[in-house]
Structure 1
Amino acid sequence: MDKVFKALSDATRRHLLDRLYVNNGQTLSELCDGLAMSRQAATQHLALLEAANLVSTTRRGREKLHYLNPVPLHEIQERWIDKFERPRLRTLSALKRKAEHAMSDKPQFVYTTYIEATADKVWEALTDPETTAAYWGHSNVSDWQPGSAWEHRRTDGSGIADVVGTVVEAIPGKRLVFTWAGPDEDRPDGPSTVTFDLRPLGDSVVRLTVTHENLRDEEEHRQASGGWSAVLSNLKTYVETGKPLSSPPWS
């Protein structure tokens, strides 16, 4: 939390967050446009915001896009504001939805978490059927080769897959991309796409960024937001402690 307050203490960094609120998913050049600062200075400010988990990044081709991550702000609200003014300031979720939908051709949901583990361990947690069953309640089954099918199977022995898709990209320990849709789902605009980006920070910490694109509407966005938050919290706990949360967060 100290990093969050340090990041927010500077007016320039607050202005950068304001710009991402208005138009989420901007490149460094876009954020620098109209500001009296060099790219190097902006990069330093963004690095502090990213270290505080207030900004998440993802790459699309050669571009690095920056996204507002309101989760730390929400934690501040709950700890120091919400308990005194519960009827007010319930706008963070709306802020997040607006920011993520600002440009339809950019990722619609981005979530970043930090896990105390190696990249190989986190990769295993995403792709190993037994491990995914332990913290997700479903087994992710595939050979994880580009072009191969994958299934999100129930663990009740029925073998039913609630989600299916195709592996788009798989770089062990670094990046996993696959399509996501119900087995009989009619999606005129095509399936949504989920991307896991793993970035080691030293030898024992991984920054995991999940991007879920091509969500159809506000309801699907709401479901994705709640679902991924729960799953990733359980994943982090399982990888770091060897066991999931005592109560499934989605229940």
Structure 2
Amino acid sequence: MDQVFKALADPTRRLLLDRLREHNGQTLRELCERLGMARQSVTQHLDLLVRADLVVVVRRGRERLHYLNPVPIHEIEERWISGFDKARLHVISAVKNQAEEYAMADKTSSETIPTYVYVTYIRASAQHVWQALTDADLTTRYWGHANVSDWQPGSNWEHRRVDGSGKVDVVGTVVEADPPTRLVITFEDSPDAPREPSVVTFLVEPHHEIVRLTVTHENLPNQAMLNGISSGWPAVLANLKSLLETGEVLPQAPWEMSPAHT
């Protein structure tokens, strides 16, 4: 938490976060151009933001793309705001969000939807995290659905209900599978829609007794899907983390919480 407050104390670093909020997934060159700053100065500020987990770097070929990570800001909100005047702040936030929705409606439909990135740290081995992502029985426990596939590149996968209906809510294809560190899948919640599927990448990076799990969801078709996964992924990954670290999922399904409490 100290590193987060230190990073946020500098106006230049706050400006960097604002630029990433406007357009997520920028290279160092793009950030330098938008800020009119020397490469070395921007690099130093980004290093502090990365150490504070406010920014996540995702490699794409030779490029290093920078994404906002919402987790530390959410933790500040939970610790320093939630216990004080949350009810009034929710009203203010609702008014602000409604105004922004009206503003969004005025923009062109061709506007690019940003990529979603989420990072969490889990006390587990890379092998255990990989198994949790690909084992149908384990996904049933923390996700409420069975993710079914042989997880070979080119194979199909299904996000199948376990309520006896056998209904499949999401389908896709395994694009890459490099156990236990990298899994890339297409993600189609509306397979009949005339659009390219979104793509989810799971990156598992081991470090001694913990792993850093980075989930990147890109090629999103619209703002509605971005809003949905922005609340869905944190809930699912919190349940996964709890299962691997304690042997039990959270007492209540986190995705069932009302919007007023998320």
Give the shorter-chain TM-score range. 0.7 to 0.9
Letter in 2 for 1:135: Y
- Out of 239, 242, 246, the position equivalent to 2:251 is 246
> Residue in 2 aligned with 1:48?
48
Q: What is the CA-CA distance between 1:203 and the residue it aligns to? A: 1.0
Whole-Å Cα distance in 2 between the matches of residues 36 and 180 of structure 1? 38
Letter in 1 for 2:239: N
1:144-155 superposed matches below 5 A:
144-155=151-162
Q: What is the CA-CA distance between 1:228 and the residue it aligns to? A: 1.0
Partner SS, residue 255 of structure 2: coil
Q: Is the 8 A contact 2:171 2:191 kept in 1?
A: no
> Residue in 2 aligned with 1:215?
220
Q: What is the CA-CA distance between 1:102 and the residue it aligns to? A: 11
Partner SS, residue 254 of structure 2: coil
Letter in 2 for 1:162: D
Q: Deviations over 1:31-78 (max 9, x none)?
A: 223544343x53343232123221122233321111122332233234
C-alpha RMSD over aligned residues: 2.8
The alignment-based identity, stated in percent, is: 57
**2:127 is the alignment partner of 1:126:** no
> Residue in 2 aligned with 1:192?
198
Whole-Å Cα distance in 1 between the matches of residues 23 and 224 of structure 2? 21
Q: What is the CA-CA distance between 1:8 and the residue it aligns to? A: 1.4
Q: Is the 8 A contact 1:74 1:92 kept in 2?
A: no
Q: Deviations over 1:172-209 (max 9, x none)?
A: 12211111124x73221122211112222x21222211
Task: Please give the TM-score of this superposition, normalised by the length of structure 2.
Answer: 0.81
- Out of 218, 229, 232, the position equivalent to 1:224 is 229
Give 5+ residue unaligned stretches, structure 1: none
Task: Please give the TM-score of this superposition, normalised by the length of structure 1.
Answer: 0.84
Where relative contact order (Cα < 8 A, 6+ residues apart) is larger, the structure is 1
> Relative to structure 1, is the Cα distance of residues 216 and 123 closer, same or farther in structure 2, using a 3 angstrom cutoff?
same
Whole-Å Cα distance in 2 between the matches of residues 217 and 176 of structure 1? 24
Q: Deviations over 1:184-239 (max 9, x none)?
A: 73221122211112222x21222211122232222222211111111011111111
Letter in 2 for 1:144: W
Letter in 1 for 2:213: L
Letter in 1 for 2:252: S
Give 5+ residue unaligned stretches, structure 2: 257-262
Deviates more, 1:112-121 or 1:144-153: 112-121
Letter in 1 for 2:194: P
Whole-Å Cα distance in 2 between the matches of residues 16 and 148 of structure 1? 40
> Relative to structure 1, is the Cα distance of residues 64 and 103 closer, same or farther in structure 2, using a 3 angstrom cutoff?
farther
> Relative to structure 1, is the Cα distance of residues 116 and 47 closer, same or farther in structure 2, using a 3 angstrom cutoff?
farther
Q: Is the 8 A contact 2:239 2:249 kept in 1?
A: yes
Deviates more, 1:240-249 or 1:3-12: 3-12
Whole-Å Cα distance in 2 between the matches of residues 92 and 2 of structure 1? 29
> Residue in 1 aligned with 2:30?
30
Whole-Å Cα distance in 2 between the matches of residues 51 and 119 of structure 1? 22
Q: Is the 8 A contact 1:23 1:103 kept in 2?
A: no
> Residue in 1 aligned with 2:177?
170
**2:4 is the alignment partner of 1:4:** yes
Partner SS, residue 174 of structure 2: strand
Letter in 1 for 2:141: A
Q: What is the CA-CA distance between 1:107 and the residue it aligns to? A: 5.0
Q: Is the 8 A contact 1:70 1:92 kept in 2?
A: no
More helix by share: 2
Tell me how many residue pairs correspond in the alignment.
Answer: 243
Whole-Å Cα distance in 2 between the matches of residues 250 and 54 of structure 1? 24
Q: What is the CA-CA distance between 1:127 and the residue it aligns to? A: 0.7
